[in-house]
Amino acid sequence: MAPRPSKIWADYPVKDINRSKEFYRALGFTVRQLTHDGDDFISLSIGDNGFVLNLFSTERFERGVRTKALDTWGTNEVNFSISADTKDEVLAWEQALLDIDADIISPPEEMKEGWWVMRFADPDGHRWVILNMEK
């Protein structure tokens, strides 16, 4: 029988740890207080289920994965989606992103009847989706 994973998290390479920390903090992500070796790492907690996103300097990320990181501008390595309970919550996300001058890839739109979606990128080009499925 295969082992059952107990936790899952994601790691992203970023060019500027402090810029990324402020970007995600402005969107309500929780910066986890962890001790780590140096200033080239932060850990974020996302949502009610405690999904963890670790941000590493690009150099440190590449050492850890033993390969080159993609340039995420113009490419997409993964698609994370954040659940929104209502269309208004999608619109609130849009406003929060506009307030911090984030790169909105696509503004809120009705994907199909009752489903609303928008897309944005963080300062390093990592793409995110805000998705409401009311029906």
Listed in order, the ranges of the chain carrying CATH 3.10.180.10 are 7-69, 76-135
The string of pLDDT tens digits covering residues 39-64 is 678 889 888 887 889 998 888 888 88
Residue of 72 and 135 predicted with greater confidence: 72
User: What kind of fold does domain 7-69 have according to CATH?
Assistant: 2,3-Dihydroxybiphenyl 1,2-Dioxygenase; domain 1 (3.10.180)
Q: Which two tokens stand for residue 68?
A: 């080159």
Report whether CATH 3.10.310.10 matches the domain 76-135: no
Whether pTM exceeds 0.85: no
pLDDT at 123 (0 to 100): 94
The string of pLDDT tens digits covering residues 84-107 is 999 999 999 999 999 999 999 999
- Alpha-carbon separation of residue 97 from 26, 36, 100, 103, 121 (angstroms): 9, 29, 5, 8, 10
The string of pLDDT tens digits covering residues 110-128 is 988 889 999 999 999 888 9
Interatomic CA distance for residues 63 and 113, integer angstroms: 46
Whether residue 135 has pLDDT greater than 70: no
